[in-house]
A and B are shown apart, each in its own frame.
Chain A
């Protein structure tokens, strides 16, 4: 059982959601960067780096940083830079970059090189995320979205081969042609760092992870809980079909977390900042405003379903805060979050919990207090019970399906 601290590096200085959406269509692609204040931005980097580095002292197994471009959702277009900075400020915990959107980089050999560097810089603590990139990225970098999946799959092969096969060798694919693949350096972890792939629930991504032995991280924190339930059962079915051992830590779940004194206090403190996260920052790929989801990035069937779900979600939000907490269940007192988290972890055999603790416009002091409570009072309690359950499951002669 592992617990990661996930940071999106949000921009917290936009007007509140209602006001924001009156004047802007989204927080992505076209929200003018004149809204970005470089002085405040520099201070935010300092705050967020401290939060990430501090996760080590609090006992987290690792941190996760991610990559998005041209938006207020996160000021981290290059997570590799943050990972490099953290390599020098931490000693023990894992550093996961759940970014490096392969189709945006040509040749994607660059990703193999930078990850090998990071693995060396961290003394073998890197977890290498390989991602397709979000829909808005295809507008921002003007990459043909109908090529996204083909380029991604091929680039994954290229990166893994670049790490594991002695160079030089030539790579001749549909999309990439490299006569000399021979990256210096090579990764410290052998044969290569663990690979995690995030997903919003696409069955083909889940199957791909199971077939290749990569970790699958369900990251649709805004989707209703039943969506992740479907992903988890699909993942375990695919693992069984692939004949691989069931390793709970290879299945991850991203969730916002806020731990307060009491349930009521936690809700009161977190609500405006969750609303800012959902209403402002996520506007652009979910929500009521513009959805920068390019044609062909997912097939028409999936896109039409996605839009139908968004509409249903918008209806739910009209029902007020109660509905919001249904979608964000990990908000409450220590006892509440403990029990809900353990129940969730056991029900889906999720061995990796990715917690967004410094989300939206949450002020530094509230984020700090909630993070400490989570790390000191929730994590050890859940870890102990989940680890025992997973061990019993492993030792059972015939593991029962979750």
Chain B
């Protein structure tokens, strides 16, 4: 884990592997969230076997500074461009999951020439009135006693399975609780305002993304129901969809081997 300072703003960065640069943008429950900082997730470990993986903590997460007053998803996208400039990376593959999938799309449509290929894993961001997800921030409100079962149930197909309990145990140790709630504030800064975790303008802008795009989705996603995938596919110039029927929203944690293999096959 290293720290970059971009325009005076601190960014926590995980970087590993060699090869084509790959920008990984994390999700609501992922690296840089409630998981311990080390070791990295199996998905990241797998991707770093064959690519130069850069996984910055999004603003507000894991020691990365928030964007500041009125910072929105557009500022977050410009911030990513500044980060790549600083690292001397003109063109990258981008893999974004969940919240990070939303940011990946916002980045790709503003900087199409900088994205070689784009993989979106259960991306948030698209407002699909007929297929809205359940309200994440309400589910993430903690309980005085009794743990995090509700939000696990929203994020994971099997909320009491090992992947879920590993990522979000009921008795989060203090340091991981700080990362979890700090990260939630980062997500809220970008996506609290209705519709939750969406940019209503995104659908009309998807055609600006020129990179070939892979969509990977869990069939049991309750935050971004799989029906949203068709709207993405319809709006993106070149996209194909893979669905893991039994996975939930955080399929990168639930089935890292298959998600990793799909992404790696798509990013040769």
Contact = CB atoms under 8 A, between A and B. Distances in A.
A296 B188 CA distance: 7
Nearest to A313: B144
Contacts of B142: 290-291, 293, 307
Contacts of A286: 144
Given A175-B69, A303-B181, 17 more contacts: A29-B138, A30-B138, A139-B138, A142-B194, A144-B188, A145-B188, A150-B69, A174-B69, A290-B141, A290-B150, A291-B143, A296-B188, A299-B182, A300-B182, A301-B178, A304-B177, A307-B144
A139 B136 CA distance: 12
Interface string B111-144: 0000000000000000000000000011011111
A146 B178 contact: no
Contacts of A314: 144-145
Contact of A294 (B70, B188, B193): B188
14 contacts: A142-B192, A145-B188, A146-B189, A147-B69, A287-B144, A290-B150, A294-B192, A296-B184, A296-B188, A300-B177, A307-B144, A307-B177, A311-B144, A314-B145
Interface residues of A, number: 32
A-B pairs with lowest CB-CB distance, top 7: A296-B185, A295-B184, A300-B182, A288-B145, A300-B181, A310-B144, A295-B185
A292 interface: yes
A145 B192 contact: yes
A289 interface: yes
Contacts of A287: 144
A150 B184 CA distance: 18
A293 B185 CA distance: 11
Given A287-B144, A295-B184, A310-B145, A304 B193 contact: no
Contacts of B88: none
- Chain B CB within 10 Å, residue with most, of A174, A175, A299, A303: A303
Contacts of A304: 174, 177-178, 181
B200 to A, nearest CB: 14
A175 B177 CA distance: 30
Interface in B168-186: 174, 177-178, 181-182, 184-185
